[in-house]
Amino acid sequence: MGEAKPVARILTSVDGGPVRRIVNGRQTKYTGFFISVKADFAQMPWESRHGEKAAMVLAEASSRVVKLLAQPHRLEINVREQKSPLRYFPDLLLKVHPSFLDDLRNGIPFSTAALAPSQDEPDDLLKIVIVEIKDERDTRQWDPKYIRKLELAKEVYRRLGFEFAVIQRAEDLFEGDLGIAASVVSWRHTDVNQTDVWAVELALRHGGKPAAEIVAALGDGPVGWAKLRALHVRRILAMDLTDVVSSETMVMLPQNNSLKILTNS
């Protein structure tokens, strides 16, 4: 009697990175890579500037998203009706704070949830969210077979304790929010060091302060502003991104961030 096949299985890459690179020279549309601090400075592939790339920029800027991985795995689901398994490649895997997941469950748009202020939640409470990003022009959304595949995938993830979120580009990724996120994330590769961390910790030791005061502690001028943004992405400090970053933007020093990132070495 043969060994019973599993109902479903998840296949990951050997190196822990994306299972599909997407950018292969054969695409007729814009594709590219996003080098993410929250993916340990790895190249995350995208095939839609307004979909996957936009979601990654927002996740990178979010104080409540700790890790991200594009094309994280291949999900294979065995079904009785066909010999070969259904194959599904999710767009993103995010490790997030519980409050972020609560917002998504309550119908808060993805970009709004991403830029909501940090609640300084412990990183040992992180939740995994599998993200599927949809464009309103994608006709597969109304294909019964495709809808069924997503339903099966959602059930598999539920059994694993993962959340499955379908993000609609037009309803969940707002241009204004993306502009704020991009203004921070664009400076994520600015060189920062332990001395900068100490300066921030000293400046914020008694509580939150306006951004202008933290920039002054980081050397002031354009370099100080760039370091402020880079330190936010690296989870050393947390800015309030509910509005455009300015001198009055409030900055706090999270006490529960255990997964901080300083360098790419």
For 92-108, how does the pLDDT look when each residue is reduced to its tens digit (9 = 90+)? 999 999 999 999 999 99
- 226 and 178 in one domain? no
* Backbone φ, ψ for residue 66 (5° rounding): -100, -40
- 229 and 143 in one domain? no
Please state, in angstroms and rounded to a whole number, the distance separating the CA atoms of residues 61 and 251: 14
Q: What is the pLDDT of residue 265?
A: 47
184, 216, 238 - which closes a domain: 184
CATH number at residue 210: 1.10.10
- 202 and 150 in one domain? no
184, 204, 219 - which closes a domain: 184
- 209 and 100 in one domain? no
Q: What is the pLDDT of residue 15?
A: 86
Assess if residue 262 is contained within a domain: no
CB 158 within 8 A of CB 125: no
Please state, in angstroms and rounded to a whole number, the distance separating the CA atoms of residues 246 and 215: 11
Q: What is the pLDDT of residue 262?
A: 79
Nearest CA-CA partner of 222 in 196, 187, 251: 187
| pTM higher than 0.85 | yes
**Could you say which residues of the chain have pLDDT below 50?**
1, 265
Domain that holds residue 236: 191-252
Q: How many domains does the chain fold into?
A: 2
Both tokens of 81, joined, read 């009706």
- 221 and 241 in one domain? yes
Please state, in angstroms and rounded to a whole number, the distance separating the CA atoms of residues 149 and 81: 13
Task: Identify the bridge partners of residue 209 per DSSP, sorted by sequence position.
Answer: 251
- 221 and 102 in one domain? no
- DSSP 8-state class, residue 156: H
Q: Please write the tens of the pLDDT for every residue from 191-245.
A: 999 999 999 999 999 999 999 999 999 999 999 999 999 999 999 999 999 999 9
Please state, in angstroms and rounded to a whole number, the distance separating the CA atoms of residues 248 and 159: 45
158, 184, 210 - which closes a domain: 184
Q: What is the pLDDT of residue 28?
A: 52
